[in-house]
Amino acid sequence: MNDLALRQNIIDELVFDPSIDAANIGVAVEEGVVTLSGHVGSYAEKIAAEMAVKRVKGVRALAETLEVRFQGHKRHADDEIAARALDIIEWDALLPNGAIGVKVQKGWVTLTGEVQWHFQRVAAERAVMKLGGVVGVTNVLSIKPSASIPDVKKRIEGALKRNADVEAERVEVAVLDGNVTLKGGVTGWRERTAAERAAWSIPGVVSVTNNLAVRG
C-alpha cells in the first residue's frame, strides 16, 4: 500500500471512531511511518487516536505530537486530580490498597509503587487516564511477583503458540531474571501487541522489551 492510500485509510479510521474528534488532527505518512499532529480534547481521546492508527493495516510505526487542550470549564487543579485519582484507584477491586502513589504536576499524573501483576499496572493507568484535567500519564509502577516462577521462557513460547493472532515461529523470546525481550518480525501492530500481551500474561515476568519489527 502506498503512503497516500495509507494516509486516507488512517483519516477514515479516525473519523469512524466515535470517541475521537478528528477535526484538529493532522496525519502525515512516510514509508509506513505515521505522524499525528494537532490537538484533542482529553488524554483519553489522545490514546484513542493512537489505538485507531495502530488498527490500520500497513502502519509500520507511529510518532505523535498531539497536544491535549481543555476548554476553560474542564480545567482542574492538580490537588483535585490527585485526590480523584487516589479515590478511583482505591475503589478498583483489581488494585492493591495503599500500594500506588500519585503525583500530579500541571495535569500530568505520575504513578509510583509496586504491584504483583502487569494487568494491575495497566489497570491503574486506565483508571486515571479518563479523569478530567489529565494531560498525560507516566506509569513507573514496578512489578514485584509474589514468587519465583520456573520455565518462564517455555511458558511464554507456549502462550505465543496458542495465540491465534501470533505467528509464533517468527518471534524469538529471551528471558533473564524475569526480564523478557521479544525479537523478530510481525505483519502488523495487532500481532505485535498480541505477542507482548502473551508475554505479560506469564507469572514471574517483571518487564517486557518489545523489539518486534512491523513488516508490511
- The set of cell numbers assigned to 121 is 499496572
Domains and CATH numbers, the chain: 3-68 (3.30.1340.30), 73-143 (3.30.1340.30), 152-214 (3.30.300.130)
CB of 118 closer than 8 Å to CB of 205: yes
- How many Cα atoms are found within 13 Å in the side-chain-facing hemisphere of 200? 18
Cα→Cα distances 146→64, 96, 129, 206, Å: 37, 13, 27, 11
Residue partners of 104: CB distance under 8 A and separation at least 6 = 78, 79, 81, 82, 85, 110
Using DSSP's 3-state secondary structure scheme, residue 4 falls into: helix
- Residue-by-residue pLDDT tens, the chain, 216 positions: 799 999 999 999 999 999 999 999 999 999 999 999 999 999 999 999 999 999 999 999 999 889 998 876 567 899 999 999 999 999 999 898 899 999 999 999 999 999 999 999 999 999 999 898 999 999 999 998 876 777 899 999 999 999 988 999 999 999 998 899 999 999 888 899 999 999 999 888 999 999 999 886
Helix, strand, coil tally for the chain in percent (to 5):
40, 30, 35
Residue partners of 154: CB distance under 8 A and separation at least 6 = none
Give the pTM: 0.77
